[in-house]
Every structure is written in structure tokens, then in C-alpha cells.
Structure 1
Amino acid sequence: MKLIAVDLDGTLLTSDSRPSSQGLDAISHAVSKGHTVTLCTGRASFDARHLTGELSIPIIASNGAEVFDREGTLLRETPIDPSAAAEAVRYLLKHDVYFEIFCPEAIYSPSDGEQKLLAEMDILVSANPGVDRDQLWESAKIQFVQFGFRGIDHPLQLLEQGRPVYKLLVYTFNEDKLNEITMHFNDQLQVHTTSSANHIVEIIAKETDKGSALRFLAGHLGVDMSDTVVIGDSYNDISMFEAAGTKIAMGNAVEEIKHLSTMTTRTNNDHGVAYAIRSLLEI
């Protein structure tokens, strides 16, 4: 039996943020052959389930902060320390950026976040007339259509209620601000950062990443790490590529992922997950 971990954005999902039908069929086929397939994503678990419909498979979500079995039972969680999460939210409010708070039941974001992104985008486009404004906004709008997304007026009050915080996500068109925020959180003792796309930095607990979550799930299932396979495309997949026995980069993957890969499949828009499972893995 193999344990196959499949990323979502840029991997199983096409550029319109919908799952490849051929990819879903290939996952079901692999499961029918006795293998275990898990989604391994930066998205929230409820968002991942919503996107993939009736698939009954384990899920590693929030960049490894939550691990669920195929029945949806939580096996492990590694939330950000409450005091570190509160400090982080205060910092992000002070820096006046769009951000999201990933909790077990929802993704919360300050209600004025969309206006902040629009203002940043207008500044970027005015300074760079060749930039396609519509294309930029299409990439940003993905944030607002996540399943379980909720706007809130007072994010610090949310943390005062004691909810676990699995991840904080920052989206900004201001590259200087993005770099400053990344450097700030990488200097903290209890958190570190990763990224799944342009304009994004994700803040997670120091002990959290996709690789450690994959090792945990493999141990739970009794699968040797040499029998694990990962399929991904971006920086937040690096830790699972470093951990797995077989590493398959998407055709659209960043160079760092391709450098770590055992093999490369087709792009996400050309059903690369299906090709990887059926042709490269010969399942």
C-alpha cells in the first residue's frame, strides 16, 4: 500500500480553482486499488471537503496544523500558541493589511479587508500601467469565495474567546510590506512562515508543516515513509517533498519543487494529478 498526498491549489485544482474531474477519478481509482490518498493542503479542512465532494479520504489541512482520518475524525492539531496568535493579529492590524484567521469552524477576516486589497491594487496598477488589473483581482477574489469564509469587525475579540488558531494568512500587493511581515514572523520563536502563491505569506506554529503532518499520518496508518508519494507545486509543499519517498512535481511547479522532485507530471490545467497517478505511478 502507498500513501499518496495530493496538494490542492496549483495541483488538483485547475487555474479556475476547481478540481480536475480526471484527477478526482484517478484518486478514486487509486483508493479502489488499496492505496490511501490524502489531500495535503494549506486550505481549511471544511473548504477542502467542499471542493472535493464525496471523496472519503484523510485530509491534512491548514499546512499540516490539522490531520483528519477518512471519517473526518481529528487525529492531530498543532495550533499557534494563543499569546503568539494574539500578538500576530495585533501586528497585522497595525500594519493595515488583509489577513485571515483559520479556526476549526471558519475562516475569519476583518470586514474591511476587501477595501484594503482594492486600494493596494490601485496603487500597484497606477505605478505599473502594464499590469493587468482584472487578472490581479481575479487571483485575489479566490480568498473571498473560500467555503466557511466570514467577515468580522473585531478579530481580537475572536481570539479572546479561546478558539484555536491553525493559521494566519496575509494577502498584500505591497511587496515591501509582504517581505517585512515575512521577516518579522520568521524571527519569532513560536511561529514560522510559508507561502502557497504570489502575494501571500502564511503564518503557522513552529512545529507545523506538511512534512511533519505526512510523517504523522504515515505512522498512524502504518505506512513506511519510503512508500509515501507527494504531488505538489509550491513552497508550502517543500517540507513534504523533503519527507516523502517519491516526489512528483506539477508541470507548473516552482523551480524549488522541481529540483526536489523524483519526476514531473503535466500541469494542473492538463490534469497532472491524473497523469501522475495513472501513468507515472502506474496505478
Structure 2
Amino acid sequence: MKLFVTDLDGTLLNSEHKLSEFSMNAIKTAMDKGIPVCIATGRSYNDILEIISELDVKPYIISSNGASVYNTDGEKMYSISIPKDQVREIITYLKAQNLEFEVADDEYTYITQKGLDILHQELEDVGSVDTKKREELEQDVLGLVLSQGNLKVVPDMEVLLDSIESANSVSSISAYLNKIHKAMERFTMDKRILTFSSWKYNFEMTSSDTSKGIALKHLCEHLGIGLSDVAVIGDNYNDLSMIKIAGIKGAMGNAVENIKSMADFQAPTNDEDGAAKFLYKLMEDMGL
């Protein structure tokens, strides 16, 4: 193994979207032993920096599901974004469907106040029928949105559009799966964008010219590392493109079946520090 690549939510982070001390120490140990580490996630760059702020040495970062790649000095090596006029098309549709949406660039993840209001209302509506499900959704839906350290709430869609030049990604989240599936089907037909889900309550969009896998290829070319020497671990559909091309394939215990079916190794769940344990196993196999 010459490069270790890990997803964040559902993988390196626990179900409270936190990085445990055990997992942080695993990343530190690998880098101290000379193994490059890359975090590949749907989160935007500044949000990732806040999560890993306690790491003295920064890893490589693939942010916004492959839209940008950064080196360990924080320099952008690669970037492909969605043009602003296309962002307007996307979020105009989502707004008309009464769906929450988030638009991310390198600096912020933008959300409208109306979007937050929609999420709160959905949770209230669900909770009035099923209290247990509401508790689950408060963590899985609202908890994920609010865990983003660079989240910026703006008054409305026009202020959001005035704040960006382009977008690394656009995403939507809802407590209602039928709303998510309907919108996702609509955008799957648009060949300009890549549409996928990182877990069941959301879907995300990037430029069709990128993915975590494409970004990983660019990083490996830069580092002079063959894909056969890369270890990757993830949990959901947005990780498929990089797990497919990696020589060493890991799946979380909480991963979707598509990920598990192609993995060489199944780690424990994200609440059991599965990604870190996978990394320690690989280092042990190397005699480190």
C-alpha cells in the first residue's frame, strides 16, 4: 500500500459525524510512517479542514465528491465545477419541488433559511406519526446538515447565487424518500451532471466530468503511484467510482451491499472505528 484513501461520513466519522481519537491517531500513525493519506468526501474543503484540525500534518483531500483535489500544503491541484447558470436551473427546480438544497464551493456550503425550515417541518410531520423515526432522522438528516462547519445560511436563492461564481456540488436532503427519488430521476437524465446518492435520504450532483474515482486517478498520476497500490474504504454509492479502481478494496460494516460485494475486506462499522482498524490491519500486513 502506497496510498490510503478514506471517505468521511459513514466511514471515518461515527454516526454523530465526529472523528474519534482512535481514528485520528490511526491517520497520524500512517502519515508518521510515511504512508500518504487522502480523505475523499462529499464535504467541501473548508469543512474538511475543520474536522481534521487536530492533525499536525494534513492529508491529501478530494472534496465535493471529486470536484477538487488539494495537496498537503492546501494547494488546489485539480478542479471541475458546475457553471452558475446550470446551478440556477438545478436549484430553481428543487425549490419548486419544496426540497431543501445545498450549494457548495471551496469556502462555504450554502443553504437558504427556507431550506432549513423545510427540514424542520418534515421532521415535525414525521415525528407526529413516528417518534422513533423522528429521532433517527434528526441525527441522519438535520444532524448531517448542521455538522458542516462551513455551513452558511442565506436569506434566499438569489442571495445564494450572488455569493458564488460556480459550484463544486449541489445536493438535496429530505425525510421523504419519494421526494428524493423523484428529483434524482429527473437529474439523472441530464448528461451535464453526475447524480448519485451518498446515503438513502439524499442525492448529490457534480459535473459529469468528475467523480471521486476520476479525482483519485489525477492524484495518483501526480504522486506517481499505481492504482494497484492504493487502498480505499467507503460505505456508499458515491464511493463506488474509487473503490472500483483501487487495488485494495475495503467496505465498512455499515456499507451498502454494492460496496460490500466488491470489497476484499469488510471492516467493522463507523461507530466501531472500522476505517481506522482497516488501516491498522494494512500497516500490520506491511510489517509496520
Q: TM-score range by the shorter chain?
A: over 0.9
The answer on 1:98 being equivalent to 2:100 is: yes
Shift of 1:186: 0.5
Pairing partner for 2:208 from 203, 206, 209: 206
- Determine helix, strand or coil for the equivalent of 1:123: helix
Shift of 1:57: 1.2
Aligned AA (2:260): K
Shift of 1:90: 1.1
- In structure 2, how many angstroms separate the alpha carbons of the residues matched to 1:183 and 1:129? 27
Per-residue deviation, residues 129-168 of structure 1 (Å, max 9, x unmatched): 3643222212223202311111112323443565120001
Pairing partner for 2:247 from 245, 248, 258: 245
TM-score, normalisation: structure 1: 0.94
Unmatched runs of 5 consecutive residues or more in structure 2: none
Q: Choose 158-167 or 39-48, whichever is displaced more.
A: 158-167
The answer on 1:216 being equivalent to 2:215 is: no
**Match of 1:42?**
42
Aligned AA (1:16): E
Per-residue deviation, residues 188-213 of structure 1 (Å, max 9, x unmatched): 02112111222111111101211111
Per-residue deviation, residues 68-89 of structure 1 (Å, max 9, x unmatched): 0000001111101332212101
- In structure 1, how many angstroms separate the alpha carbons of the residues matched to 2:9 and 2:154? 25
Aligned residue pairs total 282
CA RMSD of aligned residues (A): 1.7
Aligned AA (2:96): K
Aligned AA (1:78): I
- In structure 1, how many angstroms separate the alpha carbons of the residues matched to 2:27 and 2:178? 40
**Match of 2:76?**
74
Q: In the TM superposition, what are the counterparts of 1:1-283 in structure 2 within 5 Å?
A: 2-55=2-55, 56-126=58-128, 128-129=129-130, 131-139=132-140, 140-160=142-162, 163-282=165-284, 283=288
Aligned AA (2:255): A
TM-score, normalisation: structure 2: 0.92
Aligned AA (2:40): C
Unmatched runs of 5 consecutive residues or more in structure 1: none
Tell me if the contact between 1:45 and 1:61 (Cα under 8 Å) persists in the aligned partners.
yes
Aligned AA (2:211): D
- Determine helix, strand or coil for the equivalent of 1:98: coil
Identity of aligned residues (%): 33
Runs of 4+ in structure 1 displaced over 4 angstroms?
none
